[in-house]
Amino acid sequence: MFGWLERNPFFFAVGVFVVIAFAGLIEIVPDFAQQSRPVVTAKPYSLLELAGRQVYIKDSCNACHSQLIRPFKSETDRYGMYSLNGEYAYDRPFLWGSKRTGPDLHRVGNYRTSDWHANHMWDPTSVVPGSIMPAYKHMFTNVTDLETAYAEALTVKKVFNVPYDKDMDGDGKVDVPLGSYEEAKKRAFEYALRVAEETKRQDLVDMVKAGKIPEIVALIAYLNRLK
Amino acid sequence: MQNPAIEYDYTVAKWFSYLAILFGIVGMGVGVWIAFELAFPELNYVLGEYTLFSRLRPVHTNVVAYGFTLSGIWATWYYVGQRVLKVSLAESKFLQTIAKLHFWLYFIGALLAVGSLLIRYTTSKEYAQFEWPFDIVVVIIWVLWGISIFGLIGIRREKTLYISMWYYIATFLGVAMLYLFNNMEVPTYLITGMGDPLHSVSMYAGTNDAMVQWWFGHNAVAFVFTVPIIAMIYYYLPKESGQPVYSYKLSLLSFWGLMFVYLWAGGHHLIYSTVPDWMQTMGSVFSVILILPSWGSALNMLLTMKGEWGQLKENPLIKFMVLASTFYMLSTLEGPIQSIKSVNALAHFTDWIPGHVHDGTLGWVGFMIIAAIMHMAPRFYKREIYSKKLLEMQFWLQTTGIVLYFSSMWIAGITQGMMWRAVDQYGNLAYSFIDTVTVLHPYYTLRGIGGLFYFIGLFMWAYNFYKTMTAAKQIEKEPQFASPMAA
């Protein structure tokens, strides 16, 4: 049989394909619908948080930080409750990472504050002596691309039915509003101003007031949301 | 049976060889740089935000995997393909054009794609960072290669496909399937007409995205770092040594075994994550089974040298290839060990993982590509290899580099894993996270030095290749087996 296959490249290729495709079919496909169910408390990211998440991705924070707390005592002691499947339902892409050059961030919102993050990203060793993380000063001057974040939110709402503008918990109120770009932008600026004030950095507050959200503010909004 | 009438066309094989050398130097240069950044963080700021670790890390992985390795794979394909099928590219104007198009589109695409990473365009998925327009370019490049493979097969004289061909075909199919499914993404601009046209959002969310990503990620390793490299060694080792492949049956078992088993093992990247438990277990179990086909190929190669071990002393190219299969064995034993759940609990997220990756890539992939290109050089240019001594020096320097690399990362990884879980007498965590970082400084430094050794070796390789091309003694006819070398 193998000798025959080796003289008939078409059937050889078909054979190889069937053999390699097999595992994916068995492993991935059956659980697909099951795995995408959100836990009750999971909510889509607001516009500013989503913009911050894009900053996180743009600067590849996931190259050094995981967002996956494994179910060991040593991990739950250090980072908090272990991660649940349904918490990731609105994460496109997932950001589990594969290497902890720095600590896990899945629940960093529970134990760090906006001003801590601002100081840390400006000069990591000022708050963590011995840190090998570099400073990300360009985030303090780069302006957040809210429009692309809105495009992403609208895309996932339209294509994947992510529940923006919906009453998810049945209390009669919309949980995560998105609305038009103008509406969403207005809310993002209000949110950004709160975060900027929390950082206790006047330059950030001034930038927001001048109509530009620095990337660091969006990123901090995202990090605070990780709980 | 020799057919002296065939004049093989090595144009594109040569081009891809140059590119492999170029991308090797660039990609590993970046690697050395970021390795030292971990030991000496000031290096992050040399070129402002463009040299930040997080910016350069994807540049390093992509240039090495898809620049150096793919170039090496294609350099050998455009050489081996013609020879084992007994047909010259020059016999088909069409295939010749496709081959050139393949090269140029790849070269330009690679430059643009890497540029896009430097200016922050990334999807964040490891080894699949490129945004959607580049993914489309990758697909076109891949289709061109497919046309080249099956076109050449279509006009072949040798009816039976040699083992290397099996592996090239599998590489083509495997990467095509994996890449397509993992890069399913929706360009947000096309849906909303707003924002950045290059931005896209993944079709899969959360845990599903992770499953698809590591099914891809692990098997990108399979079909870029393993399968095509086996294609190479099955051709170059018997050719260089003049020995027949030890066992046809063993190559059959290893090939079909590898094809079936490899894909299941992706789950070992997700042990103790939120993917279903049975999948983690399958990933673990199949990773252990994977030792069989992996060692099958490696042993088949080592046994090919049976009775001819003297060549190991005489011929540095044999040294490179034999050590490559040995590193392949080491790496394919280490991987399954790390996939065992209790070991994974310790090793995951630590430096032991990059350590594992690098004994595979530097030792197995790198050495095999270096040997393949140096074997081809005398056949490309009808000249002797310029310097055997330089090749020997390169071999020892790079081997030392690899050993420094993986041993320092073993220690670093296990140290860090143990410190993360260490508790004091009251059961409280014994170390804060930063303690587990500062302790690694000496190992990060050693690793950087190991990488530097390997990197210097690349320049020796480039120089030797260049001199072979331009200044070495000419030979009258193509060497049949061992490549001729000047002392």
| Per-residue pLDDT reduced to its tens digit, B376-386 | 999 999 999 99
Q: Hey, what long-range contacts does B183-186 have (CB within 8 A, 24 or more apart)? A: B183/B123, B183/B128, B183/B130, B183/B132, B183/B135, B185/B123, B185/B132, B185/B135, B186/A155, B186/A159
pLDDT above 60: residue B1: no
Q: What is the mean pLDDT of residues B78-87?
A: 97
Instruction: Tell me the residue length of chain A.
Output: 227
Domain boundaries, chain B: 11-191+202-470
Residues A107 and A164 in one domain: yes
pLDDT higher than 70, residue B321 = yes
Residues forming beta bridges with residue B474, ordered by sequence position: B383
Which burial class, exposed, middle or buried, applies to B428 when counting CB atoms under 10 A from its CB (0-12, 13-18, 19+)? exposed
Mean pLDDT of A6-13: 94
Whether residue A59 is contained in a domain is answered as yes
- Number of separate domains in chain A: 2
Predicted local confidence at residue A35, as pLDDT: 72
Summarize pLDDT for A198-220 with one digit per residue, the tens.
999 999 999 999 999 999 999 99
Which chain B residue shows the shortest CA-CA distance from A55? Answer: B120
CA distance B361 to B350: 18
Say how many C-beta atoms besides its own lie within 10 A of residue A186's C-beta. 13
Chain B interface, best mutation among A26, A32, A34, A98, by max B CB count within 10 A: A98
A154 and A54 in one domain?
A: yes
What pLDDT does residue A2 have?
Answer: 86
Whether residue A23 is found in the same domain as residue A56: no
The alpha-helical segments, DSSP class H, found in chain A are 2-7, 9-27, 32-35, 47-58, 73-79, 114-122, 124-127, 146-160, 181-199, 202-209, 215-225
* Distance in Å, alpha carbon of B277 to nearest chain A alpha carbon: 11
**3-state secondary structure at position B37:** helix
Contact A134 B41 (CB under 8 A): yes
Same domain (yes/no): A19, A54: no
Nearest to A36 among B208, B273, B354 (CB): B208
Mean pLDDT computed over A164-170: 91
CB contact under 8 A, A20 and B194: no
Does the pLDDT of residue A34 top 80, yes or no?
A: no
Q: Do A19 and B259 touch (CB under 8 A)?
A: yes
Nearest to B194 among A9, A91, A147 (CB): A147
Per DSSP, the three-state class of A166 is coil
Q: Are the beta carbons of A96 and B273 separated by less than 8 Å?
A: yes
* Whether A77 and A12 share a structural domain: no
Interface test with B, best of A2, A35, A81 (most B CBs within 10 A): A35
Would the CB atoms of A138 and B345 count as touching at under 8 Å? Answer: no
DSSP state of B181: H
Q: Taking Cα atoms as reference points, which of B190, B219, B68, B89 lies closest to residue B148?
A: B89
| A17/A62 same-domain check | no
Assembly ipTM: 0.94
For residue A49, the distance in angstroms to the closest alpha carbon of chain B comes to: 15
Segments forming the whole domain that contains residue A130? 47-225
For residue A14, give how far its alpha carbon lies from the nearest alpha carbon of chain B (Å): 9
> Mapping DSSP to helix (H, G, I), strand (E, B) and coil, where does residue B485 land?
strand
Interface touch B202/A92, C-beta < 8 Å: yes
Indicate if A16 and A97 belong to the same structural domain: no
In this predicted structure, the answer to whether residue B3 has a pLDDT above a threshold of 80 is no
Q: Note whether A6 contacts B161, CB cutoff 8 Å.
A: yes
Tell me the C-alpha distance between B469 and B240, whole Å. 19
Helix, strand, coil distribution of chain B in percent, nearest 5: 75, 5, 20
Identify the band that residue B4 occupies on the pLDDT scale cut at 50, 70 and 90.
low
Q: Same structural domain for residues A105 and A208?
A: yes
Together in a domain, A151 and A51: yes
- Chain B residues whose CB is inside 8 A of the A121 CB are none
Q: Does A74 touch chain B (CB under 8 A)?
A: yes
Both tokens of A35, joined, read: 């795995």
Handedness of CA A108, A109, A111, A115 (dihedral sign): positive
- Are residues B206 and A35, on separate chains, in Cβ contact within 8 Å? yes
Helices (H), B119-226: 132-154, 163-182, 188-192, 206-220
**Chain A: residue whose CA lies nearest to B252:** A2
- Residues of chain B found within 8 Å of residue A75, distances taken between Cβ atoms: 420
Same-domain status, A204 and A104: yes
Interatomic CA distance for residues B276 and B81, integer angstroms: 42
Asked whether the beta carbons of A98 and A104 are under 8 A apart, the reply is: no
For the four alpha carbons of A189, A193, A199 and A202, in that order, the dihedral sign comes to positive
Considering only the beta carbons, identify the residue of A12, A96, A138 that sits closest to B161: A12
The reply to whether A113 and A6 lie within a common domain is no
Residue A38 belongs to some domain of the structure: no
Tokens of B396: 């020892």
pLDDT band at A192; cut points 50, 70, 90: very high
Q: pLDDT value at position A27?
A: 81
Give residue B217's pLDDT.
92
> Mean pLDDT throughout A28-39?
78
Contact A19 B423 (CB under 8 A): no
pLDDT digits (tens, 9 = 90+) for B352-372: 999 999 999 999 999 999 999
Q: Which residues of B touch A154 (CB under 8 A)?
A: 188, 191-192, 194
CATH number at B11-191+202-470: 1.20.210.10
Q: What is the pLDDT of residues A99-110, one digit of tens each?
A: 999 999 999 999
Confidence of residue B6 (pLDDT cuts 50, 70, 90): confident
Residue A56: closest C-alpha in chain B: B124
Residue B215 host element (H or E): helix B206-220
- Give yes or no for residue A161 having a pLDDT over 80: yes
Q: What distance in Å separates residue A183's CA from the closest CA in chain B?
A: 15
Q: For B75-210, where are the E strands, in sequence order?
A: 185-187, 200-202
The pLDDT, as a whole number, for residue B2 is: 52
Report the gap between the CA of B121 and the closest CA in chain A (Å).
6
Round to whole Å and give the CA distance between A173 and A168: 8
A14 touches chain B (CB under 8 A): no
* Residue A171: CATH number of its domain: 1.10.760.10
pLDDT, averaged across chain A:
95
Q: What is the pLDDT of residue B473?
A: 92
Query: Minimal CA–CA distance to B401: which of B357, B457, B453?
Result: B453
Kindly state whether residues A83 and A179 are assigned to the same domain.
yes
- pTM for the structure as a whole: 0.95
Shortest Cα–Cα distance, A191 to chain B (Å): 21
Q: What percent of chain B has pLDDT over 70?
A: 99
| Chain A residue at shortest CA distance from B216 | A24
Judged by CB atoms closer than 8 Å, whether chains meet at A96 and B210 is answered as yes
pLDDT at A25: 85
- Mean pLDDT (chain B) is 95
Assign residue B185 a region (left: φ > 0; alpha: ψ between -120 and 50; beta: otherwise). beta
Answer for the pair A106, A67: CB distance below 8 angstroms, yes or no. yes
Q: pLDDT tens across B120-170, in order?
A: 999 999 999 999 999 999 999 999 999 999 999 999 999 999 999 999 999
